[in-house]
Amino acid sequence: MALLNRSDWYDIARDTNWTPKYVTEEELFPKEMSDCFDVPREKWETYDEPYKTSYREYVKVQREKDAGAYSVKAALGRMKFLDSADPGWKSILKLHYGGIALQEYAAGMAEATMARFGRAPGMRNMATFGLLDETRHGQIQLYFPHEYVSKDRQFDWAHKAMHSNDWAAIATRHAFADIMSGRDATSVALMLTFAFETAFTNMQFLGLAADAAEVGDVTFSNLISSIQTDEARHAQIGTPALKILIENGHKEGAQKLVDIAFWRNWRLFSVVTGPSMDYYTPLAKREKSFKEFMIEWIVGQFERNILDIGLDVPWYWDTFLEDLNTTHHGMHLGVWYWRPTVWWDPAAGASPDERDWLEEKYPGWNDTYGKCWDVIIDNIKNGREDLTLPETLPIVCNMNHLPIVGVPGKKWDVRDHYLDYKGRRYHFGSKVDRWVFEQDPDRYAGHQGLIDRFLAGKIQPANLEGALKYMGLQPEDCGKDAHDYAWVWNYNKPDKVAV
């Protein structure tokens, strides 16, 4: 029997709007769950998703994608890539899986919010596939690291991290709750699919795939490229929603949500992807610097997307561009210094050759971040590892929940962008984080960051040991220098003296 072309039946089949008889329209689609902008239903009916697929087509393609990724894994599994992989690369895998796998399930719930409460039939349809996508991403990114658990228990954090009170988990949950689980369907379309998925997932899933291919980790490269093909599809949910909001006089409100989501994701990427690309990836295998990737994907592509659709670049765009030179270096230094508090082994990436590369990519690195590394290097050479380990906690930002960092050394520029609100002082890592808080203070005010919890006596004993226990880290889980300080001894070569 001949099948109709999809275009012959698609519009009718996916038009699942009807007039409710037993409940009101408002009860069926409460504003808080559906659309904080309250755009009328008939306006939403103009929503036209750019990517159309049927369930039959979807399943066929997804099945092939899965078969591809799993068969590469099966074929290469016996080659024991991981045994010979650079420790820095292993850390990228641990960081990636722990930070992302379970958030894929959370993203599935956000897709489900759009699938049920989205005001446009097309949005609900696409989000149903998005929900299936994210379920796949969660499953596959738990399955792949699982085989390593017996060899290296830090891989267990692929599943464990998001259930813990590790600072990195608190930061990730807080950011994603703000753009996914804590928002209505329309806001999710803007903040998750538009701001996060069209901008940042490219970085993690294509930028990192390029590095993975260079390193020879074909399994991982394949896996994350496969995931990105789904992201590229369901990321398109946001654009037609934005169009409708702008047409109906909500440009300002939509802009604000995009600005908030973009910043929150940027900060998260500065601690996850920045160190991965500029410090953990072995020098010879680095495709581009983090900043170069960011400029290509974010400034080159996302900026154009924003302008094309009729929004403006975020008000803090200059701050963001300046941040590309600095923030992730501070985040990296913080993660390395507080390494017992993470479930991966941070690679210092500060050997003489690596410093030359950093200085070339980020002029002035040696006079700033390099100054801190100089002291660290001397301490390790002098047998004072104790001085390279923390005895207190960094102050974490009350918005992004990452350490409040700035530029050290000759261009010392570190600031607390604090705000007093209803008798409590909140500390922020940047004026933009503070701005996000000020947009809806009561939304964020009740949350306790790690330092707040420490001061409230929730972490016992009240020292670093108690903090590690609170974060769920056993001694074998705690991060250590990925290369056991081997990089320090390169400084003994006479032609390479630390400057």
427 binds, among Fe ion, other proteins, none (CB under 5 to 8 A by kind): other proteins
Candidates 34-42, 59-67, 213-221, 413-421 — which segment interacts with other proteins by CB under 8 A?
Answer: 413-421
Which CB sits closer to other proteins, 204 or 368?
368
Q: Under 8 Å CB-to-CB from 108, ≥6 apart: which residues?
A: 130, 131, 133, 134, 135, 138
In the list 109, 387, 445, 486, the residue contacting other proteins (rule: CB under 8 A) is 387
In the list 28, 67, 79, 414, the residue contacting other proteins (rule: CB under 8 A) is 414
Binding residues with other proteins: total (CB under 8 A): 37
Q: Do the Cβ atoms of 189 and 118 come closer than 8 Å?
A: yes
How far is Cα 100 from Cα 7, in angstroms, rounded to an integer? 36
Residue 74 in contact with other proteins, rule: CB under 8 A: no
> Does residue 447 come out as left (phi exceeding 0), alpha (psi in the -120 to 50 range) or beta?
beta
Residue 355 in contact with other proteins, rule: CB under 8 A: no
Q: Do the Cβ atoms of 319 and 432 come closer than 8 Å?
A: yes
Residue 60 in contact with other proteins, rule: CB under 8 A: no
Which CB sits closer to other proteins, 287 or 359?
359
How far is Cα 348 from Cα 482, in angstroms, rounded to an integer? 7
Provide the mask over 130-149, with x wherever binding to Fe ion is found by CB under 5 A and - wherever it is not. Answer: ----x--x------------
Burial code (b: 16+ CB inside 10 Å, e: under 16) for 461-492 equals eeebeebbebbbbeeebbbbbbbebebbebbe
DSSP code of residue 235: G
Provide the mask over 446-475, with x wherever binding to other proteins is found by CB under 8 A and - wherever it is not. Answer: -----x--xx--------------------
Binding residues with Fe ion: total (CB under 5 A): 5
How far is Cα 199 from Cα 320, in angstroms, rounded to an integer? 14
Q: Do the Cβ atoms of 426 and 387 come closer than 8 Å?
A: no
137 binds, among Fe ion, other proteins, none (CB under 5 to 8 A by kind): Fe ion
In the list 99, 275, 349, 408, the residue contacting other proteins (rule: CB under 8 A) is 408
Q: Under 8 Å CB-to-CB from 6, ≥6 apart: which residues?
A: 52, 54, 57
433 binds, among Fe ion, other proteins, none (CB under 5 to 8 A by kind): none
Subset of residues 94 to 113 that bind Fe ion, contact rule: CB under 5 A: 104, 107
Residues of this chain that interact with other proteins (CB under 8 A) are: 330, 333-334, 337, 369, 371-372, 374-376, 379, 387-388, 390-395, 403-410, 412, 414-416, 418, 425, 427, 451, 454-455
